[in-house]
């Protein structure tokens, strides 16, 4: 991927940061959008001129349009990873608050639509052009009790992936990853920081452990690379067999 410029939303920490690291290790460059200023600074300090970090709230259409327009010509993206996402507050369906609904939909779903539109407007043509979206196995399982909104957005991401793959072929391949329990800070939020609960869940996973962010990143790198050149419209589980 030595000639690739990969835009990663939510790329300052967790799975997003692991994807940035994997892209750079493979010889590419990365545009990193996030609202985490400290994480962006750490990414820039680690990788220097090979990353182009910017504080962007991808849940805001105008912010995405502006950030894309401000990229220098030599940073026009060739690939896109729609990774930005939040779990949101745990709520029963009868307790859902409109503000919470709007925020989770904006970060998890609308951001992918906004970033994809901006990417298609500005992208530099590339023979291996690809988009990778981050869904979740919660799209099928419904997720943990109280996380119906999160699961719903991830189901929508899976549908968007298949629809976009049809529309953008043959110029751009579009696939998604569906992680399971991955050992990142966001997972602590799902289980309230209860490491014992995470260990209990892990015992029910065929591979007997949570996944690592780097393992999701390797799957993303495969979907971005020529190694998966005949794969599009696919949602790939990275869930240890769960």
Q: Which residues are catalytic?
A: 150
DSSP symbol at 144: S
Q: Which two tokens stand for residue 83?
A: 């990774």
Q: Tell me the C-alpha distance between 232 and 131, whole Å.
A: 9
Exposure b/e, 108-130, CB count within 10 A at least 16 = b: bbbbbbbbbebbbebbeebebbb
Q: Tell me the C-alpha distance between 115 and 98, whole Å.
A: 24
The alpha carbon dihedral of 222, 88, 77, 14 has a sign of negative
Q: In this structure, how many other beta carbons lie within 10 angstroms of the beta carbon of residue 97?
A: 10
Asked if 241 and 207 count as a contact pair (C-beta separation under 8 A), the reply is yes
Burial of 35 (0-12, 13-18, 19+ CB in 10 A): middle
């Amino acid at each position: 991927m030595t000639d690739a410029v990969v835009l990663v939303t939510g790329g300052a920490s967790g799975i997003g940061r692991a994807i940035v690291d994997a892209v750079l290790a493979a010889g590419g460059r990365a545009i990193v959008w996030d609202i985490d200023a400290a994480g962006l600074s750490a990414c820039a300090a680690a990788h220097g001129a090979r990353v182009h970090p910017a504080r962007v709230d991808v849940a805001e259409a105008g912010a995405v349009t502006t950030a894309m327009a401000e990229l220098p010509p030599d940073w026009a993206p060739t690939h896109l990873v729609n990774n930005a996402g939040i779990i949101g507050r745990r709520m029963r369906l009868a307790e859902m608050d409109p503000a919470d609904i709007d925020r989770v939909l904006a970060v998890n779903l609308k951001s992918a639509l906004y970033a994809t539109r901006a990417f298609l407007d500005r992208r530099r043509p590339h023979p291996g052009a690809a988009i990778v979206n981050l869904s979740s196995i919660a799209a099928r399982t419904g997720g943990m009790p109280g996380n119906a909104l999160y699961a719903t957005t991830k189901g929508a991401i899976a549908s968007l992936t298949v629809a976009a793959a049809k529309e953008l072929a043959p110029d751009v391949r579009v696939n998604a990853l569906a992680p399971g329990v991955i050992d990142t800070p966001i997972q602590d939020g799902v289980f309230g920081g209860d490491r014992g609960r995470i260990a209990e869940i892990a015992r029910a996973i065929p591979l007997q452990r949570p996944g690592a962010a780097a393992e999701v990143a390797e799957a993303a790198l495969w979907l971005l690379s020529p190694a998966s050149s005949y794969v599009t419209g696919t949602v790939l589980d990275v869930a240890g067999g769960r």
